[in-house]
Amino acid sequence: MKPEALLELLREFYGDKLTAMLQHQTGATVVSQYDVNNTYQYVLAREETQLDWVRRAIVDLGGQVGNGGGPGRAIVGKGIAAAHTVLEEDARDAQAFYDRWHPRVETVTNARHRLMLRVILGEVIEQKRFFTQALAGRTDLLGRRTTGSPPEGAVLATRWIE
């Protein structure tokens, strides 16, 4: 793969991953169950790291990244129904992201960049597992609680307002 083609692939991957992260940010404002929201915070932190990796690879190849992402997410419904819809969408979108990018990543001839992209795709599948397990009612997504008592209340969406 020529450097120009690799640079274009990385830019496109970056834009697609940025769009996913922005949608997860919006989703986190709707998913208020404490443990599931913590999982969204974990996913967002990993996505920020992944975007930094791809951004650095683009810059190393002499390119620049754009500022935007894709279209925003429209939230349908309220409360638990909206959270359920968000989780369904995020699980479906994670699989679609993997399906779209896996074949293209395998064409990357630069071993370092191919491995980086494979790691990100692996984490996307992990995210899908989180979303699917949350849909099934699981709350031990990041580990089991040692106290045995469930958290009370919900996470407020307003903390996302900047």
**CB atoms closer than 10 angstroms to residue 133:** 17
pLDDT of residue 145: 61
Amino acid at 53: W
Domain of 123: which CATH number? 1.20.1260.10
The model's pTM: 0.86
Q: Which pLDDT does position 148 carry in this prediction?
A: 65
Q: Domain for residue 155, yes or no?
A: no
CA 88 – CA 25 distance, rounded (Å): 15
Domain that includes residue 27, residue range: 3-64+76-137
| Residue 71 located in a structural domain | no
* Structural domain contains residue 158: no
What per-residue confidence (pLDDT) applies to 157? Answer: 57
Instruction: Judge whether 37 lies within some domain.
Output: yes
Does some domain include residue 153?
no
Could you give the CA distance from residue 68 to residue 60 in angstroms, rounded to a whole number?
Answer: 20
In a domain, residue 17? The reply is yes
- Which segments of the chain have a pLDDT < 50? 160-161
14, containing H or E segment: helix 3-28
79-103 pLDDT, tens digit per residue, is: 889 999 999 999 999 999 999 999 9
Q: 126 lies in a domain?
A: yes
On whether residue 9 sits in a domain, the answer given is yes
User: How many Å apart are CA 108 and CA 88, to the nearest integer?
Assistant: 31
Q: Structurally, how many domains does the chain consist of?
A: 1
